[in-house]
Structure 1
Amino acid sequence: MKDMIGCCGLDCEKCDAYIATISDDNALREKTAKLWSELNNAPILPEHINCEGCRKNGVKTVFCESLCSIRQCALKKGVSTCGECSELETCSIIGEIVSNNPDILKNLKG
């Protein structure tokens, strides 16, 4: 499995926060902060948009670092991704993401 597949199965390499970080693209940070603020009804600023990947050492967005319940669960259980968890098929937390993006199962099982 690729290192850039997040705990939840999303591909970090396709995340705007990751892309903005590795390319040091302030315009993308601004665009992403605005969109995420609207989607989450929370004050997200461009300087918050820095992430080197969910499972990589290095900077992460505040959400990925400490608010993502999926990442916190994986860390607590000692698994790299939900694909290593015996509860994958019945988990309500990951189920919400799978219902919006069924392709993540391929990433988790790949």
Structure 2
Amino acid sequence: MERTAVSSMIGCCGLDCEKCDAYIATINDDQALREKTAKLWSELNNAPILPEHINCAGCRADGVKTVFCESLCEMRKCARSRNVATCGDCAEWRYCPTVGAIIANSPAALRNLEH
């Protein structure tokens, strides 16, 4: 089956950046959403995440990224090192435990990677 091009707003892991609160807060310059997202992400990650950290134009798009997306995301680092747009473009993605953790919790990510 021939693969089709995937939207630049689909992250390396298959998640849709356009549905991410950091992206939504950024494109709408929504300070209340930044504050809400920072509080939630701080609690979920047991890390000091501030509203000013909630700025992202998308994993694969040009522009600002959250610290996680820019430097900490293992899937993004791996995809960039292998010169693939998404993990779905890698021959090994179906056996990757890191990608497996995402697709186990997100059927939409799996569909996006199967493009």
Shorter-chain TM range is: over 0.9
TM-score (norm 2): 0.94
Distance 2:104 2:110 in 1: 10
1:28 aligns with 2:5: no
SS, match of residue 79 in structure 1: coil
1:44-83 correspondence to structure 2 within 5 Å: 44-83=49-88
SS, match of residue 104 in structure 1: helix
Structure 1 counterpart of 2:45, one-letter code: N
Segments of 5+ residues of structure 2 without an aligned counterpart are 1-5
Distance 2:28 2:109 in 1: 25
Distance 2:89 2:37 in 1: 30
Percent identity for Structure 1 against Structure 2: 70
Distance 2:108 2:12 in 1: 14
Distance 1:21 1:96 in 2: 26
Paired residues in the alignment total 110
Distance 1:10 1:55 in 2: 11
Structure 2 counterpart of 1:55, one-letter code: R
SS, match of residue 65 in structure 2: coil
Q: CA RMSD in A?
A: 0.6
Shift of 1:61: 0.1
Runs of 4+ in 1 over 2 A off after TM superposition: none
